[in-house]
A = this chain, B = another copy of it.
Amino acid sequence: MNYPNGKPFNTNKSQVGRTHKGQTHRIDYGGRGMSLENDIEQSNTYYLNHGMAVIHKKPTPVQIVNVHYPMRSKAVINEAYFRTPSTTDYNGIYNGRYLDFEAKETKNKTSFPLNNMHEHQVKHMEACYQQHGIVFLLIRFKTLDEVYLLPYSNFKKFWERHIKEIKKSITVEEMRKNGYYIPYQYQPRLNYLKTVDKLILDESEDRV
């Protein structure tokens, strides 16, 4: 399914942090500034501990090529490569419903660039949507510090527009019209399931 890709730096920032090309670098898991990812992780832990939902981030797909087993100590992977994920980063179950979503951040103030998305990820979202899953994107505009839940059903038209090379991005205005704004709250900070409830309600009305 997955295949090694040439640009892990772009596709795996969340996992390896920022590193300058042409040098070896220790990964700083602390301040990697992935606040959307951290917020989602906190929310998922909260949901799990409160028996509300079971949602996990999938591990980064890695092609393991070489493993060393030193005596009396744990195995060391000393050659591996990043693969392009063939699915979204997050999925799980919420009240018997299958949830599937991708989370993206952009520094861009005015729009969300769609080159952030892989075509096979979108294909995966489409397939899950066809199976009646709850499929969406969580998009954070860093500079505005605004997070939106964009249902896949609304995302589709923007993706088609992108494929047809009409427009490469989704403007903030379009996001506000087509997505749900998620206000930060106390606990969990990013309570996106509250917004998922609205989505479920709206989609059930649409589908009836």
On A, residues with C-beta under 8 Å from B are 1-2, 4-9, 12, 15-16, 19-27, 41, 45, 48, 51, 53-54, 56, 58-62, 64-71, 73-83, 86-87, 91-98, 100, 124, 127-128, 130-133
- Contact A66-B26, Cβ < 8 Å, known A98-B96, A131-B94: yes
For A67, give the chain B residue with the smallest CB separation.
B16
The contact sample of 5 A-B pairs, CB cut-off 8 A, is A25-B69, A27-B64, A60-B62, A74-B82, A97-B98
User: For A12, A21, A53, A59, which residue has the most chain B Cβ atoms within 10 angstroms?
Assistant: A59
Cα-based distance from A127 to B56 in the complex (angstroms): 12
Contact A131 B19, beta carbon cutoff 8 Å: no
Copies in the complex: 2
Q: How far does the Cβ of A10 sit from chain B's closest Cβ, in whole Å?
A: 10
Q: How far does the Cβ of A148 sit from chain B's closest Cβ, in whole Å?
A: 24
Contact B19 A54, beta carbon cutoff 8 Å: no
Q: How far does the Cβ of A41 sit from chain B's closest Cβ, in whole Å?
A: 8
For A12, give the chain B residue with the smallest CB separation.
B75
For A87, give the chain B residue with the smallest CB separation.
B56
Contact B86 A24, beta carbon cutoff 8 Å: no
Q: How far does the Cβ of A99 sit from chain B's closest Cβ, in whole Å?
A: 8
- Contact A77-B75, Cβ < 8 Å, known A59-B60, A62-B60, A130-B51: no
Cα-based distance from A6 to B60 in the complex (angstroms): 20
Q: How far does the Cβ of A93 sit from chain B's closest Cβ, in whole Å?
A: 4
User: For A41, A70, A75, which residue has the most chain B Cβ atoms within 10 angstroms?
Assistant: A75
Q: Across the interface, which residues of B come within 8 angstroms of A77, CB to CB?
A: 62, 77, 79-82
Cα-based distance from A25 to B77 in the complex (angstroms): 10
Contact A81 B74, beta carbon cutoff 8 Å: yes
Q: Across the interface, which residues of B come within 8 angstroms of A5, CB to CB?
A: 74
Contact B75 A16, beta carbon cutoff 8 Å: yes
Contact B133 A96, beta carbon cutoff 8 Å: yes
